[in-house]
């Protein structure tokens, strides 16, 4: 199994600095690879078999030189040459079997790790995603998963192969002539010492190369999405961005040249020392042949074997770095898989069946969890900083609210008062710190998340659309919805006429984050998607904030029809949109300071009246 110079010295030496290959990690890797144990054993057995078979050709050459040729036995020459062909065919066949086993093991591991990571990560609480760098998380899904695969197949296979080849070759050499075997080993340090120096230099520049590549990947990810591209254009920073990027790219280029030269120097040294070693063996061995101590065939066989021991020995001097680098990938994958999930179904959680939509906030207190509870330091922007173990200050303070089925409740208040936080507790995006949130009389923590969220529809201020067709985005909550149902929901949201005017109608790709649509069109599409879900509870978080007066009036009319019979929680800064609410809750610093109808709150002359009259100057009253 041939390796490049980079692989000889470890693919990411910086990752192994100060680490040890712990027995617990090895046992966990072996446990994770349980479905592939039989194949792994077979893979290693094939490597051993190939190494043993590769000993045959030099021994057959020895017999040809020492027996067949001196005796003039053409039949023996033919037989021995035929056996050499058989050995070559056997080695080729074993190589194919080895490759098949390594690929099925490796690709199977990639599949298992990616599936496990994706399933685990997408179930983690929202708090995890508010702190995590997306690029770092994707790197775990891609680079580290592939590194873990390499640990089991390429790296482990290379170490086993090198050990077996070295052991069997040295045994064969010692059996043939122990003095020349010792001579070959005496020459080994002459090569290993410079190889280690080259390895250290390659480690340093490879580490820098990885850091620069990671930086360039981050830059491209941020600048090539639509929001980043717009920011660069609007601030006219094209030349500055190009200079910064090309500066790092130039450094990577220079490192690539240096790395190539170091690698070629190493390979040249390998070839040179191998040639010198072979020459010394023939020099000393030739004298032994002339003295009659050994045969010519033995010398030729030894000369062949000696060229086979230098590369494995050199690679084994770096085996620890190679193994540590590969197994660190497993460690980093397990780190994500071990991330705790506080928002999980309790044992015995029940389904919310035929939801009526009654919601109760019972003396609810809430603090956002500490960073150490929901995040990983290695996935944050400053990986060297310790995660805080302190939760936030109280965001909600003793909130008591009963909401009856079918009621429209409006949440208003200054920015940061806790409106969105309060609405996030209903679908259990977060868990309360104290108190309880109940739906139909059952604590949401005692309901299965799937059934709870199936009963709730949410439209946010900045609704997310996938880079797919309009129809695919609409069908996300109901994959089996018919086109007639899509159109009915879109008519209710006053977006159907816009969609049929697009180049491909409902098959139009909306672009990244729906950028091909206006803000108001995205919100109406999100409302249509919510209506298609047909939830018992609806949460609208600034859902009409991007609409002009005409469109807002249309959507308000549509919502009035569509929300009839549903429990609705509406968050709005544009207070003219919630004047018809059954009850308005005014929050300030996490407490409900006022509650009542629009008219009553205006008469009371409190915070709501102040907010209403202030905003009335800047928005039309509908």
Give residue-wise pLDDT tens across range 184-200.
777 666 656 665 666 66
Q: In what order do the strands lie in the sheet with 537-541?
A: 456-459, 537-541, 567-571, 408-412, 583-588, 591-596
The DSSP code for 437 is E
CA pair distance 573, 612, nearest whole angstrom: 9
pLDDT score of 568: 92
Give the DSSP per-residue string, 287-337.
Answer: HHHHHTSS-HHHHHHHHHHHTTTHHHHHHHHTHHHHHHHHHHHHHHHHHHH
Full set of structural domains in the chain with CATH: 5-337 (1.20.1560.10), 400-455+536-622 (3.40.50.300), 465-534 (3.40.50.300)
Q: What confidence score (pLDDT) does residue 8 get?
A: 37
Average confidence (pLDDT) per 10 residues, the chain, 622 residues: 40 44 75 85 90 91 91 91 95 93 86 87 85 75 77 76 86 88 75 61 66 69 71 75 84 82 72 76 89 90 83 69 70 84 90 94 94 78 70 93 93 90 93 96 94 91 85 92 93 88 89 75 87 91 69 70 84 74 93 93 90 67 42
Cα separation, 481 vs 468, whole angstroms: 16
Query: At residue 537, what are phi and psi to the nearest 5 degrees?
Result: -125, 135
> 268-288 burial by CB neighbour count: b if 16+ within 10 A, else e?
ebbeebbeebbebbbeebeeb
For residues 447 and 438, give the distance between their C-alpha atoms in angstroms, rounded to a whole number: 10
Q: Would you state the pLDDT for residue 5?
A: 39
Report the run of H or E that residue 248 belongs to, with start and end.
helix 238-291
**Confidence at residue 347, expressed as pLDDT on a 0 to 100 scale:** 92
Q: What is the pTM of this model?
A: 0.74
Q: Is the distance from CB of 371 to CB of 128 less than 8 angstroms? A: no
Measured at the CA of 11, the angle between CA 9 and CA 16, to 5 degrees, comes to 85
H-helix segments, 140-237:
145-150, 156-176, 178-186, 188-223, 226-235
- Is the alpha carbon torsion for 496, 497, 498, 504 positive or negative? positive
The pLDDT of residue 314: 67
Side-chain half-sphere exposure of 383, counting CA atoms within 13 A: 5
User: 475: helix, coil or strand?
Assistant: coil
**Cα–Cα dist 75/596, whole Å:** 109
Structure tokens, 261:
């030269």
How far is the first Cα of the chain from the last one, in angstroms, to the nearest whole number? Answer: 76
How far is residue 567 from each of residues 161, 351, 560, 589, 598, measured CA to CA in Å?
A: 67, 19, 12, 25, 18
- Angle between helix axes 549-562 and 519-533 (nearest 10 degrees) is 0
């Amino acid at each position: 199994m041939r390796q490049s110079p980079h692989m000889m010295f470890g693919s990411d030496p910086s990752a192994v600095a100060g680490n040890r290959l712990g027995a617990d990690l090895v046992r966990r890797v072996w446990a994770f690879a349980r479905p592939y144990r039989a194949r792994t054993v077979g893979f290693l057995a094939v490597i051993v078999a190939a190494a043993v078979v590769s000993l045959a050709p030099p021994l057959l050459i020895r017999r040809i030189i020492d027996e067949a040729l001196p005796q003039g036995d053409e039949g023996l020459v033919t037989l021995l040459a035929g056996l050499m062909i058989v050995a070559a065919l056997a080695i080729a066949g074993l190589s194919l079997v080895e490759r098949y086993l390594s690929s099925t093991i490796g690709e199977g591991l990639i599949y298992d790790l990616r599936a496990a990571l994706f399933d685990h990560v997408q179930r983690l609480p929202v708090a995890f995603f508010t702190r995590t760098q997306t690029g770092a998380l994707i790197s775990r899904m891609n680079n580290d998963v592939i590194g873990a695969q390499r640990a089991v197949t390429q790296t482990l296979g290379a170490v086993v192969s090198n050990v077996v080849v070295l052991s069997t070759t040295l045994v064969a050499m010692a059996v043939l002539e122990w003095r020349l075997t010792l001579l070959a080993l005496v020459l080994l340090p002459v090569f290993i010492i410079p190889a280690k120096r080259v390895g250290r230099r390659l480690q340093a520049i490879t580490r820098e190369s990885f850091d620069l590549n990671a930086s360039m990947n981050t830059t491209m990810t941020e600048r090539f999405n639509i929001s980043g591209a717009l920011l660069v254009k609007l601030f006219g920073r094209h030349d500055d961005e190009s200079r910064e990027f090309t500066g790092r790219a130039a450094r990577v280029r220079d490192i690539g040249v240096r790395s190539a030269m170091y690698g070629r120097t190493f390979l040249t040294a390998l070839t040179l020392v191998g040639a010198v070693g072979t020459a010394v063996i023939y020099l000393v061995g030739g004298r032994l042949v002339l003295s009659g101590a050994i045969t010519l065939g033995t010398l030729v066989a030894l000369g062949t074997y000696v060229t086979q021991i230098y590369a494995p020995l050199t690679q084994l001097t770096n085996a620890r770095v190679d193994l540590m680098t590969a197994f660190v990938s497993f460690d980093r994958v397990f780190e994500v898989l071990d991330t705790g999930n506080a928002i999980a179904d309790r044992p015995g959680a029940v389904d919310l069946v035929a939801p009526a939509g009654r919601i109760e906030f019972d003396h609810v207190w809430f603090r956002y969890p500490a960073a150490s509870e929901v995040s990983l330091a290695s996935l944050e922007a400053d990986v060297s900083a310790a995660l805080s173990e302190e939760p936030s200050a109280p965001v909600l303070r003793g909130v008591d609210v009963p909401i009856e089925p079918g009621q429209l409740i409006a949440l208003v208040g200054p920015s940061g008062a806790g409106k969105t936080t309060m609405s996030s507790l209903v679908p259990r995006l977060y868990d309360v710190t104290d108190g309880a949130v109940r739906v139909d009389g059952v604590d949401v923590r005692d309901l299965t998340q799937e059934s709870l969220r199936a009963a709730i529809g949410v439209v946010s201020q900045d609704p997310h659309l996938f880079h797919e067709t309009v129809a695919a985005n609409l069908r996300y909550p109901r994959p089996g919805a018919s086109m007639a149902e899509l159109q009915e929901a879109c008519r209710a949201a006053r977006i159907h006429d816009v969609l049929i005017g697009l180049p491909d109608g409902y098959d139009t790709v909306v672009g990244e984050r729906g950028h091909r649509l206006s803000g108001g069109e995205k919100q109406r599409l999100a409302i249509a998607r919510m209506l298609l879900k047909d939830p018992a509870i609806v949460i609208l978080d600034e859902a009409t904030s991007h609409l002009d007066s005409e469109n807002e009036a249309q959507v308000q009319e549509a919502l009035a029809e569509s929300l009839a019979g549903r429990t609705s929680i509406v968050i709005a800064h544009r207070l003219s949109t919630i004047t018809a609410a059954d009850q308005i809750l005014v929050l300030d610093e996490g407490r409900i300071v006022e509650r009542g109808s629009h008219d009553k709150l205006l008469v009371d002359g409190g915070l709501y009246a102040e907010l209403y009259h202030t905003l009335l100057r800047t928005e039309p009253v509908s």
